[in-house]
Amino acid sequence: MQDQCGLTNVDGLYMTVESSGQETSFTEYPWLVAILDSESKQICSGVLISHKVVLSAASCLPPTQNLTVRAGDWDLLSDSEIVPHENRLVEKIIVHNDLILSQLLNDLALAVLESAFPRTKHIVPVCMFDDLGSSRLNATRCFAIGWNVLKFTRFLPQENIVLKIAVDTTTALIKKPDGRIKAHISAHRHLNLMGSPLVCPTEGNQYFLLGIWSYQLQENQTVFANVTRNLQWINDHL
């Protein structure tokens, strides 16, 4: 198992936020990244699987647009965090070979960066299942984490911080033909967390990547692309 993957900053780094259940503290989960378009607007979330490669949903990554990945951020509408975020340009997008966009099958894509992110406490890759070894995951503590992709109007909120949404993987359905994960989430409103990682912890609180948020069926049901079934494709491009 990689020692420096899937780590968390418990209760946040340098600051803690009182949460109503979905809000997180500053860089509590340092493997989350935001993907920005050429106008620096967020188009989806993603997850660091190495310091130079991000995994996200293919359906939200335009392959011909200049994209930027932002790591180490928390509130996308503020630059006042104690530790500054880091931006990296995307060198290329690698879309899953078997993507069928019209059906959102194999909805995965890799964003390879022009240069690697630094190794810091607020920027850390997530763990992948082939690093799990003999450890066991706690399937009752899985969650998705990301930013709600906002529609930019003149009525903008005051903040857009990282949200943590509990996901019931114990009753999840595996959908054919690509192994998509259909699961209940603990959200009472429609969220747009496209590209966000679905993770589960070990007993030692090291987090492993299970899926990528593809689309939401209704308020409490979301479909995730299955990362564990696509490890060979991912490893072929790392």
For 52-87, give the DSSP string.
Answer: SEEEE-GGG--TTS--EEEES-SBTT----SS--EE
Domains of the chain listed by start with CATH number: 1-238 (2.40.10.10)
pLDDT the model gives residue 194? 92
pLDDT the model gives residue 1? 42
Question: Cβ–Cβ contacts within 10 Å for residue 41, how many?
Answer: 12
Q: Which two tokens stand for residue 167?
A: 């996901």
CA 21 to each of CA 63, 216, 219: distance values in angstroms, whole numbers, following the listed order = 35, 20, 16
From the number of C-beta atoms within 10 Å of its C-beta (0-12, 13-18, 19+), residue 46 rates as: buried
pLDDT the model gives residue 127? 95
* Beta carbons of 227 and 210 less than 8 angstroms apart: yes
Q: End-to-end alpha-carbon separation of the chain, Å?
A: 17
pLDDT the model gives residue 130? 78
182: CB partners within 8 A, 6+ apart? 172, 173, 174, 175, 217, 221, 222, 223, 224
pLDDT the model gives residue 65? 82
From first to last of the 238 residues of the chain, give the pLDDT tens digit.
Answer: 455 899 998 765 655 555 566 777 777 899 999 999 999 989 999 999 999 999 999 999 987 789 999 999 988 887 777 788 999 999 999 999 999 999 999 999 999 999 999 999 999 999 998 777 667 888 889 999 998 766 555 555 556 888 889 999 988 989 888 899 999 988 756 677 899 999 999 988 899 999 999 998 877 889 999 999 999 999 998 8
Amino acid at 198: L
* Beta carbons of 8 and 205 less than 8 angstroms apart: yes
In degrees and rounded to multiples of 5, residue 58 shows phi and psi of: -60, -30
pLDDT the model gives residue 90? 97
105: CB partners within 8 A, 6+ apart? 98, 99, 177, 178, 180
pTM over 0.85: yes
